[in-house]
Amino acid sequence: MTIITKDRDQQFDTWLSDVKELRVPKELMPIRNNFVLSDLFSDSTVTGQNSIGCGIDANEQSKQGKLVDEAKERGDLVELTNLLASSTGNAVSSILGLAQSRTDWNPQDPCNINNPNGFIKFIEKLLTMPYFLAAKSEKTGVHYDNNNYDSLINNIVDLYTGLTESDKTLVKSSVISLAKACTSRVNTKNTKTLFIQQTLDASDRNIVVRIHQTFMIMEYDKQNNKGCPTSHFGTDLDVNVLELTFQGNLWSKEAAKKLANVFVQSWDDWLQYTTTPSLDEKQPKKYCFDKPELIME
């Protein structure tokens, strides 16, 4: 599905300038609306994200990202342009970083009440970025046995298709870290909790951005010192899946120069600063998942 039908260069100039709000095309509004949170009652909100890189070229994107950081520190626009033109992974991380910087979405501040709406704005920014194609979008129901959160995590990981087994292992570890980061902050009876798992898949110049989002109301069990889903989410939940493909074959040095003049964020920086840290507590909460292999650091 093509996101922008008008002249791509002109649209990219408009997107970069952010002078006027680009509207999400009508045909893409259902994708945007999938990410709107339920209006179920809550007395607090926790929003967390975990971001990882995968794919056969992920290590190379990381290496190029270190060069990006060095050129950025020197203020070397020519080198930044060359790097963003050749390393589409770092172009994508810069685009994602710019989109996030123009919203209230901040995974490093998971209890910020503006995060849910900020994340919607972030999705809108991506859906109006002319070098992205919405390759996949769906809402998938996930069923799990009552209180068997280990199986829930496995079922969510199984939603990832087209990944190697080693990359799926990375995703599983990331989902566990995300669950720990969010559930460690559940401290009320009705905590509206948003989980977002993001992967950047670098297997060629066409970087795939995968966003998996799920939502539940959780409650703090004071007696057992842990957060668990309320009964409403005890066996079933929905997972919103969005895959955006960056059209690296259309990405030009001129476009890279325009981006370098506005905003640059390296591959590793994006992954690090869009991952919600676990809460550092003197008496850490227990987790509703408890198999040894799922409590790894």
Which CATH number is 46-278 given? 3.40.198.10
Model confidence at 296: pLDDT above 60: no
pTM of the model: 0.85
* Across 38-47, 83-92, 168-177, 219-228, least confident range: 219-228
Model confidence at 48: pLDDT above 70: yes
Q: What is the pLDDT of residues 27-40, one digit of tens each?
A: 999 999 988 876 65
Mean pLDDT of 285-290: 50
Q: Which of the pair, 201 or 42, is modelled with greater confidence?
A: 201
* pLDDT band with cut points at 50, 70 and 90 for residue 129: very high
Largest CA distance in the chain: 60
Q: What is the pLDDT of residue 292?
A: 38
Per domain, the residue ranges of the chain are 46-278
* Across 123-127, 148-152, 255-259, least confident range: 148-152
* Across 98-107, 183-192, 247-256, least confident range: 183-192
What is the DSSP secondary-structure string of 50-115?
A: EEEEESTTHHHHHHHHHHHHHHHHHT-HHHHHHHHHH-HHHHHHHHHHHHHHTSS--TTSTT-TTH
Show the tokens assigned to 283: 């008496």
